[in-house]
C-alpha cells in the first residue's frame, strides 16, 4: 500500500524548515488545535527508517501542533499522519500541487461537527495506539523466541551473563531467574547490562557479584546475596 494512516511520535519526525512569515497563522491554528483536540488536515510524511520520518506536506500544521502543546501540555505527543512511499514521490508531489489548500476550499464548513466528532478524539487515538503497540509487542516477543531457538540449550550461566545485552539471551536470563520475581529480575538485567556497556567482563562469579551492587544510604549493597547467588547457580541448569 502506497499511503498509510499511522500514529507517530513527534520526536520521530525530522524537524522541517520553519515556514518563514507564518508565526501569526501558526499561533491561530494552534489555538484551534487546542479547542478541537487535534488536526483536521493530516501531514504527509516519508518513512526514512524505523521510527524516523521526513515531513513532505503540512509544515505549518506540524509547528502549529508543537505550539498547541505549549498552550496545553495534555495534548498527546503523537500525531496521526499519512505515511507515503518515497518511490511514489513524483505522483505525491503532483497531487499535493494540484490539491487546493484547505483555506481555499469551497467545501461548506458549517455543521462540520456533524461529520467529525472530536469529543473523544484523544481517547480514540490512545486506543488505536494501544492496539498498535500490542501488535508490536507480540511481534517482538515472537522474534525474540525465534532468536532464542537458535541459541545452544541450555546456555552456561556465565556465557549468558556476559552476553546479557543481546535481546534473546536477556530473555533467557529472565526466564531462568523468574523464581526471583519480576522486580528483582528486572533490576539484575539493568545492572548487568550497564556493566557490559561500561566495558566490564562478566565471565566470573566475582565480576557478576560486583556488578550486582547498588548504593543505598551511601553504602554499596549486594542486590543478590551470596546464598541467593548459590541458589541461582544451582537452579540455572534445571
What grid cell was written down for 232? 541461582
Outline where the chain has alpha helix (H). 23-36, 59-71, 89-98, 121-149, 157-162, 167-176, 182-197, 205-211, 226-236
7: helix, strand or coil: strand
Structural domain 3-102, CATH architecture: Alpha-Beta Complex (3.90)
Cβ atoms of residues 33 and 65 within 8 Å: yes
Among 106, 118, 95, 105, which Cα is nearest to 44's?
95
Say which DSSP state 99 is in: S
Residue 147's pLDDT is what? 61
Q: For residue 128, how many other CB atoms are within 10 A of its CB?
A: 15
Residue 193's pLDDT is what? 92
Q: What are the two backbone dihedrals, phi and then psi, of residue 221, each rounded to the nearest 5 degrees?
A: -125, 140
Series of mean pLDDT values for 10-residue runs along the chain (238 residues): 81 82 86 88 86 87 90 89 80 72 40 43 63 70 64 74 88 88 90 91 90 84 87 81
Residue 1's pLDDT is what? 54
Bridge partners for 221 per DSSP: 214
Bridge partners for 83 per DSSP: 4, 45
Domain with CATH 3.90.1530.10 in the chain: 3-102
Sign, Cα dihedral of 144, 150, 153, 159: negative
What grid cell was written down for 57? 506536506
Amino acid at each position: 500500500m502506497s499511503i498509510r494512516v499511522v500514529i507517530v511520535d513527534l520526536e520521530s519526525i525530522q524537524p522541517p524548515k520553519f515556514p518563514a512569515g507564518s508565526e501569526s497563522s501558526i499561533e491561530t491554528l494552534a489555538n484551534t488545535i487546542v479547542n478541537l483536540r487535534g488536526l483536521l488536515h493530516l501531514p504527509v510524511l516519508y518513512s526514512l527508517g524505523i521510527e524516523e520520518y521526513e515531513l513532505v506536506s503540512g509544515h505549518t500544521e506540524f509547528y502549529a501542533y508543537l505550539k498547541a502543546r505549549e498552550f496545553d501540555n495534555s495534548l498527546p505527543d503523537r500525531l496521526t499522519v499519512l505515511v507515503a512511499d518515497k518511490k511514489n514521490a513524483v505522483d505525491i508531489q503532483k497531487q499535493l500541487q494540484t490539491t487546493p489548500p484547505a483555506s481555499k476550499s469551497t467545501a461548506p464548513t458549517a455543521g462540520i461537527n456533524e461529520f467529525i466528532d472530536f469529543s473523544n478524539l484523544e481517547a480514540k487515538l490512545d486506543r488505536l495506539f494501544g492496539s498498535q503497540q500490542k501488535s508490536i509487542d507480540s511481534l517482538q516477543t515472537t522474534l525474540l523466541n525465534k532468536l532464542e531457538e537458535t541459541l545452544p540449550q541450555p546456555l552456561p550461566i556465565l556465557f549468558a551473563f556476559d552476553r546479557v545485552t543481546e535481546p534473546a539471551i536477556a530473555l533467557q536470563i529472565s526466564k531462568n531467574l523468574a523464581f526471583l520475581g519480576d522486580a528483582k529480575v528486572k533490576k539484575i538485567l539493568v545492572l548487568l547490562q550497564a556493566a557490559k556497556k561500561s566495558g566490564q567482563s562478566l565471565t566470573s562469579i566475582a565480576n557478576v557479584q560486583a556488578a550486582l551492587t547498588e548504593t543505598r544510604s551511601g553504602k554499596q549493597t549486594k542486590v543478590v546475596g551470596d546464598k541467593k547467588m548459590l541458589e541461582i547457580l544451582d537452579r540455572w541448569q534445571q
